[in-house]
Amino acid sequence: MTGAGGRRAAALLTTSARILLTVGRLSGMIDPASTQTGVAEFCDAFAAWEAESCPDHT
């Protein structure tokens, strides 16, 4: 990822609980079908982070 989209997605690499909570809330408010620049990249990066960092333990 490059540019602003890469910097936004890089926030997902943090270990700060406060930032992760905020990013999680943001992801729930974003329409993944949006055509706004960077939305699809953010949604993809968040989904990848969530799959890697928050496995389903059920």
Confidence of residue 1 (pLDDT cuts 50, 70, 90): very low
Handedness of CA 50, 51, 54, 58 (dihedral sign): positive
Predicted model pTM: 0.58
**Per-residue DSSP letter, 38:** T
Contact 28, 21 (CB under 8 A): no
Condensed to tens digits (0 to 9), the pLDDT of residues 17-55 reads 787 788 889 889 999 899 998 899 888 888 887 777 665
**Cα R_g (the chain), whole angstroms:** 11
Condensed to tens digits (0 to 9), the pLDDT of residues 4-21 reads 555 555 555 666 778 778
Q: 8 phi and psi, to 5 degrees?
A: -65, -45
pLDDT, residue 29, reads 92
Tokens of 51: 């799959």
